[in-house]
Amino acid sequence: MNDFAAARALYNRDAVLSASPARLLTMLYDRLLLDLQRAETAQMQQAWEPAGQNLLHAQAIVAQLADSLKPELWEGGPGLLALYSFVTRSLIAANVDKDVEHTRECIALLEPLRQAWHEAAVTVSSESPVLVAGQALA
């Protein structure tokens, strides 16, 4: 690893470690959508290895989002958990079947959520904790 790559990795690690829960959530969604866009591009070029890598990384992010969700803490939780399950199945199908339409469907479902979480993160006050995705944010 060259000096620039090492410095970038250190910066990214520090950004994650120092991020608030709201910022971590938006970072996960940003990376999830980036992975899906990269997978879509690779699938359109029939570059199956990078498409598969991006789809697998997207699956890992969705699994992390689902694992950290506490659906019993808010009325939208069970629906969001069901959406994560659906997206996981779609990502598997996109990878196994090499089907870009599954990838596009996931993008269409998740992009509005990404935007909503960004908007929610902006409105969260540092003085008053708010429940977001079933977790208290400060």
Q: Which two tokens mark 20?
A: 């608030």
Q: Crossing angle for the helix pair 21-44 and 100-123, nearest 10 degrees?
A: 160
Query: What phi and psi values does residue 15 have, to the nearest 5 degrees?
Result: -65, -40
Residue 24 in any domain: the answer is yes
User: What's the rounded Cα separation, in Å, for the pair 32 and 114?
Assistant: 9
**What's the CATH code of the domain at 85?**
1.20.120.340
Residue 4 in any domain: the answer is no
| Number of Cα atoms under 13 Å in the Cβ half of residue 127 | 0
Query: What phi and psi values does residue 110 have, to the nearest 5 degrees?
Result: -90, -25
Residue 13 in any domain: the answer is no
| pLDDT score of 124 | 77
pLDDT in tens, the chain (138 residues): 787 665 555 555 555 555 688 899 999 999 999 999 999 999 999 999 999 999 999 999 999 999 999 999 999 999 999 999 999 999 999 999 999 999 999 999 999 999 999 999 988 745 455 555 555 554
Closest CA to 135 of 36, 64, 45: 64
Q: From the CA atom positions of the chain, what is the Rg in Å?
A: 16
Please give the tally of structural domains in the chain: 1
Residue 11 in any domain: the answer is no
User: What's the rounded Cα separation, in Å, for the pair 75 and 45?
Assistant: 41
Show the domain range for 111.
19-137
Q: Model pTM?
A: 0.79
Q: Note whether 62 and 32 are within 8 A (CB).
A: yes
Residue 6 in any domain: the answer is no
Residue 2 in any domain: the answer is no
Residue 124 in any domain: the answer is yes
Residue 49 in any domain: the answer is yes
